[in-house]
Amino acid sequence: MLKRTLIGIIRSHEQTGDRAKDPELKSHYYKMSKEKAWEEVVSTLKKMQGYKVLHEVESVGEIVVEKRTATGRTMDITVSVISVNPLFTAVDIYSASRGSFGDLGSNYRVILDIYRTLDKKLALYKAEKP
């Protein structure tokens, strides 16, 4: 966590993906159709305290969410729901803090928070990369 805070002094964004070096930032996969995953992800994000869903663009699989930090900064989060094949869906997250200073690791923590919540809600569907 100290490493993340140090990186966060200069960097004010974080993202997940298949090629992420940090295992915590690897894409999450669920064994369900994109349509079903979309419904679950949107409804879960809408219930998460402190997060505000601003836009939902189902055709491209993106949900734009805003979160205000305790210090009053605003974080812009994009959650992508991607169909891997008819049976599997991936979820990736990009989080960026507004402003010129680093985020002290808060974008990293937000991503982990969202993934933890989704994994709990979709535990029956959690899967390894297909």
Average pLDDT value over all residues in the chain: 91
Q: What is the pTM of this model?
A: 0.91
pLDDT at 91: 98
Which helix (H) or strand (E) segment holds residue 67: the answer is: strand 62-68
Residue ranges in the chain whose pLDDT is less than 70? 1-11
pLDDT at 49: 95
pLDDT at 15: 94
pLDDT at 46: 98
pLDDT at 125: 97
Q: What share of the chain is helix, strand, coil (3-state, %, to 5)?
A: 35, 35, 30
pLDDT at 73: 85
**What domains sit in the chain, N to C, each tagged with a CATH number?**
2-127 (3.30.310.220)
Ramachandran class of 70: left when φ > 0, alpha when ψ lies in -120 to 50, beta otherwise: alpha
Going by the DSSP 8-state scheme, the letter that residue 71 receives in this structure is: T
pLDDT at 7: 55
Rg (CA), the chain: 14
pLDDT at 101: 72
